[in-house]
Amino acid sequence: MPLRASRKQAANMSEYQTILVDTSDSGVTTITFNRPKSRNALNRLCRLETIDAIRAANCDKAVRVVVLAGNGNGFCAGADLTEESPGMAEDGWGTRQLRYEYNPIIEGILSAEKPFIAAVNGAAAGFGASIALACDFTVMAEDAYLYSAFGGIGLTADGGLHKMLSEYVGQKKAYEMIALSQKLSAQQCEHYGMANAVVPAQVLMAKAQELAQQVAAAAPLTLRYSKLLLKESKTSSVEQIAEREAQLQNYCIRSKDFAEGMAAFFEKRPAKFTGE
């Protein structure tokens, strides 16, 4: 049977054991991996709870932006290699686990109509690197790094890392990093465009929350459609994207938020966007 959280399970996950979830009045939801002793390695419960929390945030219209963070000295160490996994020797076990317990985390971030911000402290290793790269914004502590640890244990990368990493650094550098289990420092990540900002560790969350507040105050339709168009641009021509921009701009022009934005512009005041 597929290993995934059912709708009934999701409804009963109001109190999590492996993550912390907080939503502010300004519409910022912060999901924190809370397994600091394992550097926030993802055991099965943590994976299912993370999937549930992301889905809940995506469905909540009051949530404007989601911040992903890690408690303790690391963002996320990827899979919990100490966890006993019945059925591991069965053919297809790895595929099922990735398909139903890991990939929905990445899919939930990429398909969301709202932005996700990764606040990366310490290591974002293995699947943790995929989570950081999938987010729309990434803020990293000065001592943070991305680490493709798969090669060291005889695995290949997963969570879409081959695709996302090669888009930033190119195929040759991505192959080197994955095959040789190399680390990318926060400074290198900023150089390659993987990080929006690199800050001292002690102000990481403050910086991430500051960015989240700025994003939460922005126009929801702009955030939604810009994310969608950038995603579509990876497989579209300039002409195709220009046509999609024209279609979506029509929706924006007819929105209440556009009227509010124009009024605020001429009245020289901050706009109050609602997403309508």
What CA–CA distance (Å, rounded) separates 140 from 124? 10
For residues 89 and 201, state if they share a domain: yes
For residues 156 and 191, state if they share a domain: yes
What pLDDT is attached to residue 8?
Answer: 36
Can you give the CATH number for the domain in which 111 is found? Answer: 3.90.226.10
Q: Region 53-62: what's the mean pLDDT?
A: 96
Work out the pLDDT band at 165, boundaries 50, 70, 90: very high
For residues 208 and 224, state if they share a domain: no
What pLDDT is attached to residue 14?
Answer: 56
DSSP letter for 86, please: T
Residues 252, 258: contact at Cβ < 8 Å? yes
What pLDDT is attached to residue 3?
Answer: 35
For residues 29 and 129, state if they share a domain: yes
What CA–CA distance (Å, rounded) separates 75 from 145? 9
DSSP E strands in the chain: the ranges are 19-23, 28-33, 65-70, 116-120, 123-125, 137-141, 145-147, 183-185, 197-199
For residues 129 and 224, state if they share a domain: no
Helices (DSSP H) in 21-89: which residue ranges? Answer: 44-59
- The encoded tokens of residue 107 equal 């899919």
What pLDDT is attached to residue 15?
Answer: 84
The pTM for the full model equals: 0.91
For residues 199 and 166, state if they share a domain: yes
Cα angle vertex 160, ends 156, 165, to 5°?
Answer: 85
> Residues 132-144: pLDDT tens digits?
999 999 999 999 9
Residues 257, 221: contact at Cβ < 8 Å? yes
Q: Domain count for the chain, please give it.
A: 2
> Residues 166-192: pLDDT tens digits?
999 999 999 999 999 999 999 999 999
Residue 276 domain flag: no
For residues 150 and 224, state if they share a domain: no
For residues 147 and 165, state if they share a domain: yes
For residues 32 and 157, state if they share a domain: yes
From 44-53, 80-89, 213-222, 234-243, the region with the lowest mean pLDDT: 80-89
Residue 159 domain flag: yes
Of 86 and 148, more confident: 148
For residues 125 and 29, state if they share a domain: yes
Residue 207 domain flag: yes
Residue 192 domain flag: yes
Strands 116-120 and 65-70 turn out to be: parallel
For residues 188 and 259, state if they share a domain: no
Q: Region 91-96: what's the mean pLDDT?
A: 83
Work out the pLDDT band at 81, boundaries 50, 70, 90: confident
DSSP letter for 100, please: I
> Residues 190-249: pLDDT tens digits?
999 999 999 999 999 999 999 999 999 999 999 999 999 999 999 999 999 999 999 999
Residue 13 domain flag: yes
For residues 156 and 256, state if they share a domain: no
Q: Positive or negative, the Cα torsion across 259, 262, 265, 271?
A: positive
From 9-13, 117-121, 174-178, 252-256, the region with the lowest mean pLDDT: 9-13
What CA–CA distance (Å, rounded) separates 113 from 5? 22
What CA–CA distance (Å, rounded) separates 201 from 199? 6
Residue 1 domain flag: no
Residue 125 confidence (pLDDT) above 90: yes
Which residue, 217, 233, 251, sits at the end of a domain?
Answer: 217
Domain that holds residue 114: 7-217
